[in-house]
Structure 1
Amino acid sequence: MPNQMEMVNNTCMVNIISIKNLLTQTDPVTQTDPDTILLIWMWPFGQKFDLGICSSQFNIHGCHLTDNRDWFKSAHGVLFHHRDIREDDMPTLQRPLFQKWIWMNMESPSNSPLHSTVKNLFNLTTTYRQDSDIMIPYGRISEKTGGSTTYEIPHKSKLVCWIVSNWNSNYKRSQYYENLKQHISIETFGCSFSRPVKDEDYSDLVSSCKFYLSFENSIHKDYITEKLYNPLKLGTVPVVLGPTRKNYEELIPGNAFIHVDDFSSPKELAEHLKLLDQNESLYRQYFTWREHFVSSTTSFGLEHACWACDHIRRYKNYRVVNDLSSWYWG
């Protein structure tokens, strides 16, 4: 007997045969169109958010978010968070032909358990990746309103800082840190160093550092997290370890950060940081972008739901993610 996930897959395949060539993109929505309903099947990591602020927060109108599973048959879309998917907690009712299932994930492939039954299950994806249907990055660089202004760099009392609560000696970031600390002083915080940082102290701590080690726990295309956007927002120069510089520059100005790959060794990077510490004019060059732009971080879960609802409201064409595992983990 097939399990619940297999039955859902079979239902999805019937839907594909029935309507694959029948639905096309509609005209732009108007204020008189009925609300689009998005059902949040499970709260991402159990973190709830206000279901009624898409309009005020993102200027998205005509979307109705709900977590009431009794609305399943009426929902135009259903949002599933990858890390919370369980075979015994998937819909058991027949899937409506018009309904889109949206796969949400903000973890890297290295930190995402692979479900073998996700093939042909979802219609849309919302992740940090630029090739997602609904791309939600961990943060954004956006143009200032009101024109350019001079940016005042926060007072600095520390040279290089790093906050880590997930230590793994096999991570590239851990190995790079062990080499880098031989050549420059690094103030470390977080549970990994028995110096936890309270939420209310985080901003003051990071802004007091000239440089912050924005080291990702795994290296994947587009996987650029709040470890970058928080220091940018708080007036600290991030030293990044992650995907290529080219990948970073697709999302943020090239003069806003320092990439470890620009140096032949951790020692060479350390020497560069020491030079910038002694040369104020060179250091200030990493803040010229702040005259025109600001950095912000993403509202986890909320933005995925609001923008996913907006997407299915605007685009009526049918599609299916045939092989999610190859696309994301391949």
Structure 2
Amino acid sequence: MSTTIRLPRPDDWHLHLRDGAMMRAVLPETARDFARAIIMPNLVPPVVTGAQAAAYRDRILEALPAGMVFEPLMTLYLTEDTDPDDLAAAHASGLITAVKLYPAGATTNSASGVRDFAKVRPVLDRMAEIGCPLCVHGEVTDPDVDIFDREAVFIDRVLDPIRRATPGLRVVMEHITTADGVAYVQSAESGLGATITTHHLIINRNHILVDGIKPHYYCLPVAKREDHRLALRKAATGGDARFFLGTDSAPHTDSNKLSACGCAGCFTAPNSLPILAQVFEEDGALDRLEGFVARHGAAFYGLPVNSGSITLSKSDPTPTPTHINTDDGPVTVFDPGFDLSWRVVR
């Protein structure tokens, strides 16, 4: 059994860095291990224009600690007022890598998202024309739909009609949580990929609700039944290039998590790679970890594999770090529920 793994520097294809003090605190946790990340645009106010994306990228690079090498891959937040020409110019210049679709009200800071999908049809057509990928938060927000069914209903009501109407559009289903999502991606011949988070490979809905509510396991999309978790693990560890890592690492201060209306999100940036090594080892798939974290996503986005490398080493189990401090307050690190036998060697 191998006790070390050498990988190309990984990518995170779905990351929340926030802004200000929070960004300055959490950015090093990603940049330490990951060479690139798709940066989510759901700030307040959201990143909706090329100029705003450029300004946000500059703030990220200014906050990067000396000696760290990291490339933020910027996105625009799709709204019903998005200017197709501004989007196309931002994409042509290399400023943005993708555009993010949030159904209005689906998750944190999504109030500016799309309510009437017909209104964004011209933008989606333009994106298909220029080859700009669409990253989707795949949940409907209809109050009549059970929260555990939102992903499956989104596929039927929203995503499949969008892809049929715009067949050249490249789409990433972000943070899939169901066997339905896995099957839909596998049904596509081309143009469709999906990210899978670290935490959805570990937890199911029982982890959130049994023996007391666990706020630090609450995320959106919410974790589902065990059979869905197992479908995600099979997809992630199976070597299918349509599935790749997007941690959806989403930091919130403890005061915002531990409240009467706690925020959704798991902060997994500090320990994602050791957790993933353990998951892939348990599933007899350590040889496929490199594809999931370093190759599949790059291929989907048409980017080169990173030239640098990292090494993971196996040793005696060690406790998971519990939190990081920010000027806004402490942020609890995702606890996988077991000590980690793998660590990144720097």
Q: Same fold (TM over 0.5)?
A: no
Structure number with greater CO (CA < 8 Å, separation at least 6) is: 1
TM-score, structure 2 as length reference: 0.25
TM-score, structure 1 as length reference: 0.26
Structure number with greater Rg is: 1
